[in-house]
A and B are shown apart, each in its own frame.
Chain A
Amino acid sequence: MPLRRIDIHMNKQEYTITVYTENHIGLLVRIATMFSRRKINIESLNTSPSEAEGIHRFTIVINEIEEVVQKLARQIEKQVEVLKAYYNNNDEIVWQELALYKVPTDEIAEKVKVERLLREHGARAVVIRKDYTIFETSGHREETDKLVEVLAPYGLIEFVRSARVAIIKNSKGFHEKLKEFDEAEPGEEVIENEFLDRREEVFTM
């Protein structure tokens, strides 16, 4: 049995860390300090409810080498209120970011070209007022960035983009796991030494 991890990635790349937690005041700081004390910049951070009732889900994006990400995930999972921490590269997840753009209404009303551009980028109007219109798109960063570029010449007034939200492609979700966690004597699913024998796979422990 291969006990040494073989194909650990040595180059920096984007990793998405997904953390399932209890809903506890102070946990955000506790998790954030895991990064700041190592001088690792958080590219994006999102907290939201998860598929499992009462369980929160942090989605954190960083740019690092796998070894660092793996150690971080272990440190995060060690925190008392954290149930699980997974990390994935971009091939292993489906992700989206939401972006909002505020543009002067007269510009779009007058310039047919703008409307076409917006349509090409899949933008949708959320608010239309006399003075401005707010569009929304979602997608990957490059896509939402592109539209900023495109709209700049037409007097883009405001732009904001949300943190990344991501779904792990081969995850079965947290419902079953949570049942195990609730047990005082958990089964292997939760407490096994998974991370030691499936090191090549998605990190979990």
Chain B
Amino acid sequence: MSTMEQVKTSKAPAPEVKPVKETRELSGSQAVLEACIAEKVDTVFGYPGGAIMPIYDALYDYNDQLKHILVRHEQGGIHAAQGYARSSGKVGVVFATSGPGATNLVTGLADAMIDSTPLVAITGQVFAHLLGTDAFQETDVINITTPVTKWNYQVTDATEIPSVLAKAFYIAKSGRPGPVLIDITKNAQIQKFPYSGYTKCNHIRSYRPKPIVRKEYIEEAAKLINEAQKPFVVFGQGVILGKAEKEFRAFVEKSGIPAAWTILGLSALPTDHPLNVGMLGMHGNYGPNLLTNECDVLIAVGMRFDDRVTGRLDKYARQAKLIHLDIDPSEIDKNVKTTVGVWGDCKETLPMLTKLVNARVYPQWVDRFRECDKEEIREVIQEELNPTTEIMTMGEVIRNMNEITGGNAIIVTDVGQHQMVACRYAKFNESKSNITSGGLGTMGFALPAAIGAKFGAPDRTVIAIIGDGGVQMTIQELGTIMQTGVDVKIMILNNEFLGMVRQWQQLFNDKRYSFVDIASPDFVMVAKGYGIEGQKVSKREDLRPALETMLKSKGSYLLEVMVGKENNVFPMVPQGCSVSEVRLK
């Protein structure tokens, strides 16, 4: 104490006290794994190869701190990382080697980019001195992945690794999340350097993930809402990504405004919430589509007006004043012109808005939605959920599933008719429970994503719902299930067609069924080959018991259900039509 004061008061120059940062020698590869651990990643997905061998060699010693899941294809690896990110709310991590390993990631990167999924992909690359020489398994991964990554960077020197990975994780998860790819040359993975610990990144000067919210826009938005007679909320994944489910629910409940979801917004608000009026878009519910063109104020929260949601843009909600809450300023005014754009994190903007809106109810207006529901039930839903013919429908499978799970499972869907039906009818009580490839519509997504989702939420039941076409795109991931013992329930809704394309060919191409008749293997036998139990159901009376067996089974289970070959998904807003031209048949 006294010496300290002496130093302070004496005129003599104070001795320089340098905080001695402890350093130890680490390889670039070890630094990569240290970064994952520091970022609280407990599971990574990947596939080894020549250019990433040093990282795999390091993994050997990190096995107790970092679980690595060996997938069967890098696309499976990245979809699994996506599933992990979406069920856990954490950053998904995938490792792949250079060349074909890296190019196999591209579909998943594009999917994560358009669906705003936080990912860090780490690819090995040839030695730095070989770059540009067409070396064995060299591809220009950075340039290939530029349009499908939020950020990417090539590391050629190990000393960069801690700071670059810190940036990667920060960029992946902040603002509007997205995939980041870090390409690391083999020499940098091997190189030893003095490592002085990992410091998380929370500032990049050229990057502003979160704006200061401007009150005047909140005020203006609240004013519009308070003056509205027929306000309507449409919400997307922004609510989930912003971890603002509570704030959103509070807003909806106080304002009394009916709310409909995009396919990625599904599960942000419980499906049986009285103000949840259903699904938007091409195969969404009748009311939300029809009444989009009748509301007077449309409040969009964390969604991006995809064309599958808006239908014909010049006939979309033209009568309404439009409020758009989004964290990505480039989304505001991108597809639809807003009256008030509220740029900000909805975790902040929603409570500000809730405070200013009047507590109200709109019994007549909400009734309009319920009236539409009645019509939709009569024309579509009743027969879909409780068919009067012998032929099984996808809808009745989902209904039975709901009755057993009570809406507590995580549902991972692939792409096609089954996806639309599952999203339309599945019940959800909890957020982050609906995992699907929305923006890219990637067939083959569901099986690997379900594996990842289970690792991300090990305490929850995970059910993958997949078409007979899509499952054949990534069926090799049954091997991952076999080897890891991960518990995923796989439900194949087999209509013996590439159903969604067939539906379009029926409706718009005069039933010219061009290459949609797809043959399948005996899925139950395939599963058996992988040591996974399963059964196939073709009759109604077997459906319920089979579902119960699947959900009660200890480990993974594959259930194949034979459904109507030529059933269609309705309602439908045909491409190029306005949302109010939604067809019930």
Q: Mark B482-516, 1 if CB is under 8 A from A, else 0.
A: 00000000000000000000000000000000000
Knowing A3-B339, A205-B329, the reply to whether A196 touches B205 (Cβ < 8 A) is no
B214 lies within 8 A of A29 (CB)? no
Task: Give the complex CA separation of A47 and B164 in angstroms.
Answer: 25
Instruction: Name the one of A1, A22, A195 contacting B329, with C-beta atoms under 8 angstroms.
Output: A195
A4 lies within 8 A of B339 (CB)? yes
B341 lies within 8 A of A74 (CB)? no
Measured between beta carbons, the chain B residues less than 8 angstroms from A80 are 150-151, 171, 204, 206-207
Instruction: Name the one of B154, B202, B328, B343 contacting A193, with C-beta atoms under 8 angstroms.
Output: B343
Q: Mark A4-26, 1 if CB is under 8 A from B, else 0.
A: 10000000000000000110011
What bracket does the count of chain B residues touching chain A fall in? 35 or more
- Asked if A30 is at the interface of the complex by the 8 Å CB criterion, the answer is yes
- Asked if A200 is at the interface of the complex by the 8 Å CB criterion, the answer is no
Measured between beta carbons, the chain A residues less than 8 angstroms from B337 are 4
- Asked if B152 is at the interface of the complex by the 8 Å CB criterion, the answer is yes
Instruction: Name the one of A4, A37, A181, A193 contacting B206, with C-beta atoms under 8 angstroms.
Output: A181
Measured between beta carbons, the chain A residues less than 8 angstroms from B545 are none
- Asked if B129 is at the interface of the complex by the 8 Å CB criterion, the answer is no
Instruction: Name the one of A26, A30, A191, A197 contacting B216, with C-beta atoms under 8 angstroms.
Output: A197
Measured between beta carbons, the chain B residues less than 8 angstroms from A22 are 205-206
Task: Give the complex CA separation of A196 and B216 in angstroms.
Answer: 11
- Asked if B142 is at the interface of the complex by the 8 Å CB criterion, the answer is yes
B150, B171, B341: residue with the most chain A Cβ atoms closer than 10 Å:
B341
- Asked if A46 is at the interface of the complex by the 8 Å CB criterion, the answer is no
- Asked if A184 is at the interface of the complex by the 8 Å CB criterion, the answer is yes
Query: Which residue of chain A has its CB nearest to the CB of B341?
Result: A196
A25, A37, A80, A190: residue with the most chain B Cβ atoms closer than 10 Å:
A80
B151 lies within 8 A of A37 (CB)? no
Measured between beta carbons, the chain A residues less than 8 angstroms from B142 are 26
CB proximity to A under 8 Å, residues B340-367 = 340-341, 343
- Asked if A75 is at the interface of the complex by the 8 Å CB criterion, the answer is yes
- Asked if B529 is at the interface of the complex by the 8 Å CB criterion, the answer is no
Measured between beta carbons, the chain B residues less than 8 angstroms from A81 are 206-207
Measured between beta carbons, the chain A residues less than 8 angstroms from B151 are 80
- Asked if A82 is at the interface of the complex by the 8 Å CB criterion, the answer is yes
B147 lies within 8 A of A191 (CB)? no
B203 lies within 8 A of A191 (CB)? no
Q: Mark A78-116, 1 if CB is under 8 A from B, else 0.
A: 101111000000000000000000000000000000000
A177 to chain B, nearest CB (A): 11
Measured between beta carbons, the chain B residues less than 8 angstroms from A191 are 208, 210-212
B214 lies within 8 A of A71 (CB)? no
Query: Which residue of chain B has its CB nearest to the CB of A81?
Result: B206
- Asked if B220 is at the interface of the complex by the 8 Å CB criterion, the answer is yes
A193 lies within 8 A of B339 (CB)? no
- Asked if B10 is at the interface of the complex by the 8 Å CB criterion, the answer is no
B146 lies within 8 A of A30 (CB)? yes
- Asked if A186 is at the interface of the complex by the 8 Å CB criterion, the answer is yes
Task: Give the complex CA separation of A33 and B142 in angstroms.
Answer: 13
Q: Mark B203-228, 1 if CB is under 8 A from A, else 0.
A: 11111101111101100100000000
Measured between beta carbons, the chain A residues less than 8 angstroms from B389 are none
Task: Give the complex CA separation of A1 and B142 in angstroms.
Answer: 45
Knowing A181-B206, A193-B343, the reply to whether A75 touches B329 (Cβ < 8 A) is no
A196 lies within 8 A of B214 (CB)? yes
Q: Show 28 residue pairs from A and B whose CB-CB distance is below 8 angstroms, ordered by the A residue.
A: A1-B220, A22-B205, A26-B152, A26-B154, A71-B330, A74-B334, A77-B330, A78-B328, A78-B329, A78-B330, A80-B150, A80-B171, A80-B206, A80-B207, A83-B206, A181-B205, A182-B205, A184-B202, A188-B212, A190-B208, A191-B212, A193-B211, A193-B212, A193-B213, A193-B214, A196-B217, A197-B214, A205-B329
Sorted nearest first, the 6 A-B pairs with minimum C-beta distance are A74-B330, A181-B205, A193-B214, A184-B203, A80-B151, A83-B206
